[in-house]
């Protein structure tokens, strides 16, 4: 991802993710960990992933989304593989993320990629929806 992609990423996040993130969140993530901010590009941004290293040896995927009309074409998998490769190069051995318990699409996606439910985090989201914490070894 480059700085010029940030507005498109924010738009896609607003269309695809239930949780609302402020522009300053995207800017701060890009400034502090640009190597974990990846986009799938054609003429436009079709998907993005943002992952960070939380502790030594541990990665966390914060956001991943693909434009609605381009889903089920392998773009999400490509983004996930790219961020997992980045994590592996950094010596990260376990990757964690949270998904709304109601987000059947994302649960299907992450399960297809070997992620397992570790626990439920009650009222994780700002609207008080619970999250599943998922994880996978690398
Ligand atoms: N239901 C069940 N399984 C699914 C689904 C689904 N809706 N979508 C993908 N999968 C599984 C399938 O096994 C699929 O393979 P197949 O198409 O051959 O059956 C496999 O995952 C790979 O799918 P991709 O085409 O690579 O995934 P896609 O590009 O559609 O992206 C994503 C998946 C990112 C979850 C997309 O549905 C999306 O953008 N959803 C809205 C945003 C969102 O909820 N993001 C996750 C929030 S949690 C977080 O970011 C940490």
Between CA 119 and CA 27 the distance in angstroms is 30
pLDDT in tens, 33-49: 999 999 999 989 999 99
Q: What is the mean pLDDT of residues 51-77?
A: 97
Q: At what angle do helices 6-16 and 23-32 cross, to 10 degrees?
A: 130
Whether this model's pTM surpasses 0.95:
yes
- In what order do the strands lie in the sheet containing 94-100? 37-41, 45-55, 58-66, 94-100, 131-137, 116-121
Between CA 101 and CA 120 the distance in angstroms is 8
**CA angle (63, 100, 62) in 5-degree steps:** 20
Question: Of all atoms in ligand 1, which is nearest to the CA of residue 49?
Answer: 50
Question: Of all atoms in ligand 1, which is nearest to the CA of residue 67?
Answer: 39
User: 109: CA distance to ligand 1 center in Å?
Assistant: 4
Q: Whose CA is nearest to atom 24 of ligand 1?
A: 74
């Amino acid at each position: 991802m480059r700085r010029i992609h940030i507005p498109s990423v924010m738009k896609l996040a607003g269309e695809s993710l239930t949780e609302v993130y402020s522009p300053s969140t995207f800017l701060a993530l890009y400034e502090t960990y640009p190597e974990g901010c990846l986009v799938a590009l054609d003429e436009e941004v079709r998907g993005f992933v943002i992952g960070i290293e939380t502790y030594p040896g541990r990665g966390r995927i914060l956001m991943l989304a693909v434009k609605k009309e381009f889903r089920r074409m392998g773009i999400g998998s490509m983004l996930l593989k790219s961020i997992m490769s980045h994590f592996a190069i950094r010596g990260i051995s376990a990757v964690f993320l949270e998904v709304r318990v109601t987000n059947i699409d994302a649960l299907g996606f992450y399960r297809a990629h070997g992620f397992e439910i570790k626990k439920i985090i009650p009222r994780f989201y700002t609207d008080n929806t619970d999250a599943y914490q998922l994880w996978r070894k690398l």
